[in-house]
């Protein structure tokens, strides 16, 4: 957005967005940042992220204060406890990647509106317990929920968060017995409807006994793996040291059984024990139980049957609120049992917050410089292909990319070589390695053979499939890659990966127009025509180009293929088989 006017705003709001309509509000703020800064200035974007984080902290402090009041805690210290809990969430080292990684504004804005919606819901229920209607606050809750849904899909979990509130702190209470009964019945019906939706719609659409397309795990393997992932998240939350948070998690290998790896079964047992403790203590320690319920609820979508990546730190943005609440409740219980003096309590809280703040500052420092972040990531996640790839690309960019005598090309090659060894599940480092060695003039047939063998073996997910476009882009830029080897690599990736109709056409045009190898371009054009819509203009252009190249026989074969496609598409569906 370069100008601030109604037409531009309408185009931004209703234009096609990468995340769809459920992420329109963060996208709109990105457009405002771009307009305000006059371009892609990182400072402008990160300041907005920090402001959103600060607003969430304020909202969270207010919500915690109301929650503690409704829970009948020692009301003389409610304000200090609420402030301490909100600050613990605010300065936790896990927040670094959520706040400083600009695109995660989608998650942070969603959390802001969810917290405000929960606060409004709690106010409404507090009014109903006191004999008032609470209608205005409930309407505000719905409005805030709608805003949260305009940020990210995770906001759909708000009813699960309010159910956790009812099961622990609120316990479906109301001054009007009829309202209390309606609340119980309403939530029971909602649970049944949600369970039916999950069992009969979500599972049939997303469950896969075989590996997901583009993934190296099936649904059952993903669910087993998530037990280990959730335990890893809890470890990062409870002991928040920067070395426990590598940012890149592509190195996590799926669980193929309860004992493969052996940590899978203990992780499942630990999580089941934690959940059972929360259920048993939901009356005696409602805040602890609420925090645990929120942790599990917050991961319900991302740790379920949808074929998402196995782990990301920002998925803990809301669940971290739950664990801060649960841990805080245990600390309050410990202080009471051990009868610490007020001065000792204050010093203890100060030490905890100072330690977390120090860890956050240390982690944020590594995010202030691309080389520091990439180097730190390779140390903390030595088996991460993304970390090594980021380090190699940074060195390559630092030296001016494909300029003669790039002074950092050797460092880039070394990083690629190390990443190729440490991450045998990925082809990214080897893709860059053949490009960089070609630029240096030291590429060997052995390098290409190793690369081809890797492409034939690795799971051909989205990242490994990018090899096609990396090779094509570098050839177009003039890098003297071995054409036959590059075409062999492209053939392997397109055969094993997921490519759409237009991508087949793009690859075919590249091979024909840049490499002038119509015999290698023909199969891609055939794939395009087989899946393209009938009577499309691109088909005619392809046939015309082949005729210009003197490949009349191939052009005629494609024309016959197109005619057969058009004829099949004209058959009524009721008669087609």
Residue among 64, 36, 75 at smallest CA distance from 122 = 64
pLDDT of residue 315: 96
CA 230 to each of CA 93, 153, 162, 313: distance values in angstroms, whole numbers, following the listed order: 17, 20, 22, 11
Q: In 244-273, which positions are buried (b, 16+ CB within 10 angstroms) versus exposed (e)?
A: bbbbbbbbbbbbeeeeeeeebbebbeebee
In the chain, the number of structural domains is: 2
206 lies in the same domain as 268 = yes
340 lies in the same domain as 428 = no
What SS3 state is found at 210?
A: coil
283 lies in the same domain as 407 = no
19 within some domain: no
Q: Where among 330, 351, 366 does a domain terminate?
A: 366
Long-range interactions of 265-269: CB distance < 8 A, separation 24+: 267/227, 267/228, 267/230, 267/231, 268/224, 268/227
Sign, Cα dihedral of 424, 426, 427, 429:
negative
185 lies in the same domain as 300 = yes
pLDDT of residue 227: 97
CA 223 to each of CA 154, 256, 292, 375: distance values in angstroms, whole numbers, following the listed order: 18, 10, 19, 32
Q: How far apart are CA 33 and CA 39, in angstroms?
A: 8
Q: Are 130 and 175 in contact (CB under 8 A)?
A: yes
461 within some domain: yes
pLDDT of residue 574: 42
Sign, Cα dihedral of 485, 486, 487, 490:
positive
pLDDT of residue 425: 92
138 lies in the same domain as 274 = yes
264 lies in the same domain as 130 = yes
Q: How far apart are CA 281 and CA 292, in angstroms?
A: 11
Residue among 347, 385, 119, 370 at smallest CA distance from 250 = 385
pLDDT of residue 534: 80
404 lies in the same domain as 519 = yes
pLDDT of residue 411: 95
Q: Are 465 and 219 in contact (CB under 8 A)?
A: no
Containing structural domain, residue 404: 392-568
Q: How far apart are CA 224 and CA 67, in angstroms?
A: 34
pLDDT of residue 570: 58
Q: How far apart are CA 98 and CA 233, in angstroms?
A: 14
Q: How far apart are CA 50 and CA 539, in angstroms?
A: 50
CA angle 357, 358, 359 (to 5 degrees): 90
Question: Tens digit of pLDDT for each residue in 120-148?
Answer: 999 999 999 999 999 999 999 999 999 99
pLDDT of residue 573: 44
Q: Where among 366, 384, 403 does a domain terminate?
A: 366
pLDDT of residue 575: 37
349 lies in the same domain as 456 = no
307 within some domain: yes
Q: Where among 332, 366, 400 does a domain terminate?
A: 366
63 within some domain: yes
Q: How far apart are CA 281 and CA 287, in angstroms?
A: 9
pLDDT of residue 346: 84
CA 37 to each of CA 15, 112, 347: distance values in angstroms, whole numbers, following the listed order: 21, 24, 43
CA 3 to chain centre: 31
pLDDT of residue 21: 64
DSSP state of 257: B
In the chain, what are the helix, strand and coil shares in percent, each to the nearest 5? 70, 0, 25
Give per-10-residue mean pLDDT for the chain (577 aa).
Answer: 85 71 85 92 95 97 95 78 95 95 95 98 96 94 96 94 97 94 96 95 93 89 97 96 91 94 96 97 96 97 94 96 96 85 85 93 90 92 94 93 89 95 94 95 94 94 92 94 94 92 90 88 87 80 81 82 75 43
For residues 287, 290, 291, 294, the Cα torsion angle rounded to the nearest 10 degrees is -160
What SS3 state is found at 260?
A: strand
pLDDT of residue 96: 95
146 lies in the same domain as 266 = yes
404 lies in the same domain as 256 = no
397 lies in the same domain as 315 = no
What angle, rounded to 10 degrees, do the helices at 537-548 and 518-531 form? 160
The pTM of the full predicted model, rounded to 2 decimals, is 0.90
């Amino acid at each position: 957005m370069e100008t601030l006017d109604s037409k531009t705003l309408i185009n931004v709001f209703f234009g096609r967005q990468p995340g769809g309509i459920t992420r329109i509000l963060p996208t709109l703020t990105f457009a405002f940042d771009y307009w305000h800064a006059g371009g892609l200035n990182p400072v402008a974007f990160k300041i907005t992220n920090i402001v959103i984080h600060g607003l969430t902290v304020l909202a969270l402090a207010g919500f915690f204060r109301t929650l503690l009041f409704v829970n009948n805690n020692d009301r003389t210290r409610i304000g200090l406890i609420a402030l301490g809990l909100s600050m613990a969430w605010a300065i936790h080292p896990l927040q670094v990647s959520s706040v400083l990684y600009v695109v995660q504004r989608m998650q942070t804005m969603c959390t802001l509106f969810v917290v405000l919606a929960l606060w409004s819901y709690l106010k409404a229920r507090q009014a109903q317990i006191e004999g008032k209607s609470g209608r205005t606050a409930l309407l505000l809750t719905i409005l805030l929920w709608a805003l949260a849904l305009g940020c990210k899909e995770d906001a759909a979990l708000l009813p699960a968060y309010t159910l956790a509130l009812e099961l622990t702190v609120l316990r479906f209470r109301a001054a009007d017995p009829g309202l209390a009964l309606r609340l119980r019945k309403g939530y029971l019906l909602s649970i049944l409807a949600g369970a039916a939706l999950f069992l009969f719609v979500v599972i049939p659409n997303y469950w896969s006994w075989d590996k997901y397309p583009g993934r190296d795990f099936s649904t059952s393997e993903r669910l087993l793996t998530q037990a280990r992932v959730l335990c890893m998240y809890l470890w990062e939350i409870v002991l928040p040291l920067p070395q426990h948070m590598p940012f890149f998690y592509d190195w996590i290998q799926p669980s193929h059984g309860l004992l493969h790896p052996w940590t899978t079964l203990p992780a499942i047992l630990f999580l089941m024990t934690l959940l059972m403790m929360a259920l048993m203590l939901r009356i005696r320690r409602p805040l602890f139980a609420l925090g645990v319920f929120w942790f599990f609820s917050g991961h319900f979508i991302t740790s379920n049957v949808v074929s998402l990546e196995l782990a990301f730190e920002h998925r803990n943005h809301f669940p971290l609120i739950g664990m801060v609440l649960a841990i805080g409740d245990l600390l309050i219980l410990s202080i009471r049992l051990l009868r610490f003096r007020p001065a000792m309590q204050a010093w203890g809280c100060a030490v905890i917050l100072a330690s977390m703040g120090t860890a956050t500052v240390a982690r944020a420092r590594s995010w202030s410089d691309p080389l520091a972040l990439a180097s730190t990531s390779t140390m903390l996640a030595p088996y991460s292909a993304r970390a090594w790839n980021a380090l190699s690309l940074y060195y390559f960019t630092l030296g001016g990319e494909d300029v003669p005598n790039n002074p950092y090309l050797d460092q880039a090659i070394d990083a690629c070589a190390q990443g190729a060894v440490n991450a045998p599940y990925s082809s990214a480092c080897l893709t860059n390695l053949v490009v960089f060695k070609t630029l240096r003039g030291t590429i060997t047939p052995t390098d290409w053979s190793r690369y081809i063998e890797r492409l034939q073996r690795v799971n051909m997910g989205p990242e490994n499939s990018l090899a096609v476009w990396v090779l094509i882009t570098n050839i177009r830029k003039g890098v003297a890659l071995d054409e036959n080897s590059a075409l062999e690599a492209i053939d392997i990736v397109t055969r094993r990966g997921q490519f759409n109709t237009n991508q087949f056409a793009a690859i075919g045009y590249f091979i024909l127009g840049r490499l002038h190898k119509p015999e290698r371009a023909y199969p891609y054009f055939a794939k395009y025509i087989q899946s393209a819509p009938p009577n499309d203009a691109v088909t005619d252009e392809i046939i015309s180009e082949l005729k210009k190249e003197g490949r009349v026989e191939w052009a005629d074969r494609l024309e016959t293929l197109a005619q057969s496609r058009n004829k099949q598409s004209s058959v009524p569906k009721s008669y087609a088989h």
